[in-house]
Structure 1
Amino acid sequence: MDRSLPTVSKGTHVIVPLVDELEHDRWGAAVVRRDGSRLLLAVNSSPAAAIGRYELTVETNNASGQSVSVHDPANDVYLLFNPWCEDDAVFMDSEEERQEYVMNDIGRMYYGTRDQIGVRTWSYGQFDDGILDVCLFILEKSGTPPSGWGDPVNVVRGNWSGSYPLGTSPTVWSGSVEILKEYHENLGSPVKYGQCWVFAGVFTTVLRCLGVPSRPVTNYSSAHDTDVSLTTDIYLDENLDPIEELNGDSVWNFHVWTDCWMARPDLPPGYGGWQAVDATPQETSQGTFRCGPASLAAICNGQVFLKHDAPFVFAEVNSDKIYWQRKIDGTFSQIYSEKKLVGHAISTKAVGSDERSDITHLYKHPEGSEPERIAVETASRYGTKAEAYTSPTAEDVSVEVTMDGEGPKMGGDAALTVALRNGSAERRRLVLHSQVAVMYYTGVHKATVRKDETEVDLLPNGETQQVFATQFSFRLRTPDLILKPIGAAVVGEPMAVEISFTNPLPQVLKAVIFHVEGLGLLGARKIHHGDIGARESVTLTERLVPSLAGPRKLLASLDSRQLTQVHGVADVTVEGKSHGAP
């Protein structure tokens, strides 16, 4: 469709009739007040109208019957989804949830591992000046016809592609506004770099700006199924070594996507509500890089045949991890399956507080329960390896790996415990193959640190524990930035903030960059600090002038080649100008 030629038939050209009484479910205009030659009109839009920017034209008839049409760009209207309207597809009946999922411009992002959950604050800034124009610019670039913009299912489906060298480290970003404005100013040129939490944060900003209730969601031990088998497959050779060229599937430490709230009239009743949309799709959907919206109710019950892209999301949260060993004749046999590895501690910010809310129950039934196994078996019928779920595997010997406390800090040692349990009535002689490796959070192997084989003798119904102490990269906890506001926080009056940091490493941090921002406090600011010596402590002071009253959050992050994922936050309550102020 040519966007320059809106049409009535496609809902992109709307003729608003003048009526005596407005009706809630259709377009109409009614006179509210007459003042000489001036009229005050109330206009009601259809709940199914396409969102976007409407050029407002007023037509009048004079005494001679001639029509005069006047268009003033200053009077153009932005139409958004309305979660307060019962007839809108995004209607949400809880005011507390509307305030959280539409109106809140600050949120929380979770990262790390299921046993070491990390958290950072994210600034959405959906009400920041110019962000609405950016969001509509993105919608126009998506390639979807405006005639479909009245349906949130169409609006949340995107198109993502490209590989972009050079740019800002994803861990530096602490909000969406800087990214979106740079994207708009450069006429849609990529803003580099982003990883899953950055995409989820930006996407949440766009959806909230357009009126769609939304929230970022973190899934721990998140599977990546590349072949729609609905399993995470690991292939081993005759010596139990991984066959790298066959192992396309992986389990990420964590993955972040976005839940959005909407009706799903395209699905059977009962599948509306929260929908998963992944703004970092890892596989194509109908030839395009996109994922969702997939109904959480469908995912929970294994009904992966319901659109859109439910098989991939189901595999992320509830697939079994299957180990296959190559035999002498070159074929593979299933030697073990882990049924409880994938999909844990699915997290989002709680409504009305900064606490973490565990929403795993919305994505899957309790692990190992009969409904959960039925969901897995239901989903497997639509996968490419349905037989994998029915292949028996011995489970009389189990392995559990644990770590004491909150885990190692950056620059410190790590100790883990490997517990083997023999649940059979017979003696078991085992060879434990163990490996410590450096891996990216996406599960991609970078380097092997240590590899061992240990013989273990297990008595019937007994267990043995052996502790292995070594150095390895297992979500090494980074230090926080300490932010300390200085002086009174008053709109229009200067104040300062101290940012303190101690390098935990016995090496110099090169070309350190600090990044500071805060909605209503200061725009995004980069500080090229230079090097920070081994174990050195530094403090820098930044000055700012608050522009908005009320509770605010000041965010800061640090980045260098040697150390990333360092950030901090400070709460600042800004007072309004005193009445005596000019």
Structure 2
Amino acid sequence: MCTVGRFPGHCGVIDDLYGTPSMVYPGGPLSVLSVDLLQSKTGRNRTEHHTDRYQSDDLIVRRGQSFEIEIELSRAFKPNTDQLQLLLNLGSVPLSRGTFVSVPLVSGFQGNYWEAKIILQANNMITLSVISPSNALIGQYELQIKTGGSIFKTESDIILLFNPWCPDDAVFLGNEDERKEYVLNDMGTIYMGNPYQIEERMWIFGQFNEGILAACLFLLKKSQAPASGWGDPVNITRVVSAIVNCNDDEGVLIGNWSGMYADGTSPSAWNSSVDILMQYHDKKVPVKYGQCWVFSGITTTVLRCLGIPTRSVTNFSSAHDTDNSLTTDVYVDENMRPIKSLSTDSIWNFHVWNDCWMARPDLPSGMGGWQAVDATPQETSQGTFRCGPAPLSAIREGLVYVKYDAAFIFAEVNSDRIYWQKKPDGTFTQISCEKNVVGQKISTKAVGCYRREDITHLYKHPEGSEAERTAVKTASRYGSRPNTYSCDVDKDVTLNIEINKKELQIGQNAQLTIILKNRSLERRSIVLYCQVAVMYYTGVQKSIVQRDEISLSLRPNEERKLDHPLLYEKYKDQLVDQAALMLTATGQVTETKQVLATQFNFRLRTPGFIITPLGDAVLGRELAVKITFKNPLQQVLKNTVFIITGLGLLNTTRVSYGEIGSLMTINLTVKFKPTLPGSRKLLVSMDCQQLAKVHGVTDILVQ
């Protein structure tokens, strides 16, 4: 077989990269006739490396673990006289620092290096066992085999991934059930809503789908991060958190919180990372549109695909600290009414980011394990919209100076909400503090089942404990106002707000309850100002829909519950994506001048789909499924589009339905042929300007 060479008429007689003519060996110069990378999905390489589920025909292996290849030579290999080397090239300019690797042939593996050894020889066939170091660069390697007489280039490449099964890999995860969940599970749950109304959202990560691995490797190249850094999971997660958003580098997804999505897809309509990554890889332009859970879902897909244990995490009542004060600040005027223009900090109803598992040799001992990473573009880190990885152990203790971005994430989960009142001279004074509002019910999908796991304890000590208060005070010393922090205010009147979860349905009146309690032995007179505002789930106010002023007197030790209704007519034309609202109540106790202040986020529930399979599901046989939906609004829904998808059931299908009348119930039937057996999930969502966040899921057992 003729191989690449520089000398006409001398095919197969180039014995090094510079083209030095080889000597004539007995039996002719040794050359490679063919190479079998043994890349079959059912073969030993792929199964032992836990890469058999990737829908790709490439050899996909994990670093720090041996794999085998078979080589057909022009004659029998002579160990004492013949030379054979594997040459691996990574990246656009493979030169050094691991991007160009010369793999020597050895008699036995000797250390944490690239090495190859012959494990079987029969006539002119040899089988090599090849091993990479546990810190090798991950990515797509071009393979050449150099013999004394030629260089042979293989038709397909070798893709090397991180290895959570290898004890020496920085991403090693010792628990097999956790590896199955955080690396191999291609379905998951993302949590949304607020601490009182938690909603589960099924998400297809789809890291093994055809084309997804290629798309993830494309992201690494698109990031323009040097390939020499691709062996460090800290660097890779930092790169991915930047390239998943489009703010600096024309990355994957455009964030949009405006409520206007006519030229793209509504964030709430996505069910899967697969469609987004495939579209981006195909068209090479950012996809429209996403919000935090979409950014997180994509990040989970990419990092699991590359081999880094990753999970999507939801923080309810998540603070956004814009001035590095490490507090969430609310400003009110002399009459206790909120000053919107000054209250730039916000508390998101929920925010979704990621945890990634890795060692942190760049930090002091004890900082390894789960690291917080956030791809949603909120603030810049070293000039780029990215966030993390930040050790959860550092966040928990208030060590906000630890790399990377621990201060921002600490503020998201454990800052205090401080109220500041404007004085006649224009300055502000602290009047109230809420210690337990931010960072509630931090949630992720449990290992091995579709149950919510509360991981708040990994991010913060128990609320109100001495350790938690110490962490807050430690963090505040590194904030922009280290000398003004104080959160010790005595109160003998308490103010709380409650909701009846079952009553808060979109299209109906909402009932809230304001609870005031006088804990003193004297009468207390109170003036309370209340306003209800429609909110973006990011905590940004859209519009005020109701204002009230309440005056009352409380007897000693009296508790009073005040009904506070919100009529449908007041909010019906104002709601945005998550149907989120906020009741702000501020006031003062006349006798003691005690300030009362609280903010309460709530949302109106949207209906889901009723999904009914019409018959048994059989592999390869057409199955019909009925989808039922009732419009809960007293208005027509226009330009509705149903999005249906399911791993092993059907590729994402968009069905344009058009108008759905006021309070109307519709039925839609879809048909498809299941492509994979076993328990599958069918996901349905709706893209509609008038009504967002409508989705449903059902289990389908394919025989």
TM-score bin (small chain): over 0.9
Provide the residue aligned with 1:579 in structure 2.
Answer: none
| Counterpart Cα distance in 2 of 1:152 and 1:406 | 45
Question: Which amino acid is 1:16 matched to?
Answer: V
- For the residue of structure 1 that corresponds to 2:341, the secondary structure is helix
Listed as ranges, the matches of 1:134-153 within 5 Å are 134-153=215-234
Provide the residue aligned with 1:49 in structure 2.
Answer: 136
Provide the residue aligned with 1:561 in structure 2.
Answer: 689
Task: Compare 165-174 and 255-264 and name the one that shifted more.
Answer: 165-174
Provide the residue aligned with 1:491 in structure 2.
Answer: 619
Q: CA deviation at 1:24?
A: 6.0
CA contact (8 A) 2:320 2:411 kept: yes
- For the residue of structure 2 that corresponds to 1:144, the secondary structure is coil
Return closer, same or farther for 1:126/1:466 CA change in 2, 3 Å cut-off.
same
Listed as ranges, the matches of 1:111-126 within 5 Å are 111-126=192-207
CA contact (8 A) 2:432 2:487 kept: no
Structure 2: state its 5+ residue gaps. 1-89, 248-253, 256-260, 572-580, 582-601
- Bigger Cα Rg: 2
Question: Is 1:431 aligned to 2:546, yes or no?
Answer: no
Question: Is 1:512 aligned to 2:600, yes or no?
Answer: no
Write the deviation string for residues 398-457 of structure 1: whole angstroms up to 9, x where unpaired: 210001244411112211111112233443221111111111111111111111111121
CA contact (8 A) 1:322 1:388 kept: no
Q: CA deviation at 1:389?
A: 2.7
CA contact (8 A) 2:265 2:687 kept: no
Provide the residue aligned with 1:25 in structure 2.
Answer: 112
Q: CA deviation at 1:97?
A: 0.4
Question: Is 1:551 aligned to 2:551, yes or no?
Answer: no
Provide the residue aligned with 1:89 in structure 2.
Answer: 170
| Counterpart Cα distance in 2 of 1:498 and 1:32 | 57
Q: CA deviation at 1:269?
A: 1.0
Provide the residue aligned with 1:169 in structure 2.
Answer: 266
| Counterpart Cα distance in 2 of 1:222 and 1:426 | 37
Question: Which amino acid is 1:264 matched to?
Answer: R
CA contact (8 A) 1:223 1:317 kept: yes
Return closer, same or farther for 1:571/1:242 CA change in 2, 3 Å cut-off.
same
CA contact (8 A) 2:197 2:501 kept: no
Q: Which one of the candidate residues 152, 157, 176 is aligned to 1:70?
A: 152
| Counterpart Cα distance in 2 of 1:40 and 1:483 | 53
CA contact (8 A) 2:421 2:430 kept: yes
Structural RMSD (CA): 1.5
Provide the residue aligned with 1:64 in structure 2.
Answer: none
Provide the residue aligned with 2:378 in structure 1.
Answer: 282
Question: Is 1:181 aligned to 2:278, yes or no?
Answer: yes
Q: TM-score with structure 1 length normalisation?
A: 0.95
Provide the residue aligned with 2:312 in structure 1.
Answer: 216
Task: Compare 428-437 and 223-232 and name the one that shifted more.
Answer: 428-437
Listed as ranges, the matches of 1:292-441 within 5 Å are 292-390=388-486, 392-441=488-537
Write the deviation string for residues 128-160 of structure 1: whole angstroms up to 9, x where unpaired: 011001001111112321111111000011324
Task: Compare 37-46 and 192-201 and name the one that shifted more.
Answer: 37-46
CA contact (8 A) 1:481 1:500 kept: yes
Provide the residue aligned with 2:251 in structure 1.
Answer: none
Provide the residue aligned with 1:243 in structure 2.
Answer: 339
Provide the residue aligned with 1:154 in structure 2.
Answer: 235
Provide the residue aligned with 1:6 in structure 2.
Answer: 94
| Counterpart Cα distance in 2 of 1:468 and 1:171 | 30
Q: TM-score with structure 2 length normalisation?
A: 0.79
Task: Compare 154-163 and 451-460 and name the one that shifted more.
Answer: 154-163
| Counterpart Cα distance in 1 of 2:419 and 2:637 | 41
Q: Which one of the candidate residues 181, 192, 199 is aligned to 1:100?
A: 181
CA contact (8 A) 1:515 1:558 kept: yes
| Counterpart Cα distance in 2 of 1:428 and 1:448 | 29
Question: Which amino acid is 1:43 matched to?
Answer: V
- For the residue of structure 2 that corresponds to 1:218, the secondary structure is strand
- For the residue of structure 2 that corresponds to 1:477, the secondary structure is coil
Write the deviation string for residues 281-325 of structure 1: whole angstroms up to 9, x where unpaired: 311111111110011111011111111000000000000001111
- For the residue of structure 1 that corresponds to 2:404, the secondary structure is coil
| Counterpart Cα distance in 1 of 2:93 and 2:687 | 48
CA contact (8 A) 2:315 2:351 kept: yes
Write the deviation string for residues 185-216 of structure 1: whole angstroms up to 9, x where unpaired: 012x0000000000100110001000011110
- For the residue of structure 2 that corresponds to 1:516, the secondary structure is strand
How many pairs does the alignment contain?
A: 566
Write the deviation string for residues 224-280 of structure 1: whole angstroms up to 9, x where unpaired: 000111000111222222222221100010000011111111111111111110110
CA contact (8 A) 1:407 1:477 kept: no
Task: Compare 155-164 and 461-470 and name the one that shifted more.
Answer: 155-164
Question: Which amino acid is 1:31 matched to?
Answer: I
| Counterpart Cα distance in 1 of 2:300 and 2:155 | 29
| Counterpart Cα distance in 1 of 2:127 and 2:279 | 39
Q: CA deviation at 1:14?
A: 1.1
CA contact (8 A) 1:25 1:87 kept: no
| Counterpart Cα distance in 2 of 1:118 and 1:480 | 11
Task: Compare 32-41 and 259-268 and name the one that shifted more.
Answer: 32-41
CA contact (8 A) 2:337 2:529 kept: no
Structure 1: state its 5+ residue gaps. 62-66, 576-582
Q: CA deviation at 1:367?
A: 0.6
- For the residue of structure 1 that corresponds to 2:419, the secondary structure is strand
Q: Percent identity?
A: 55
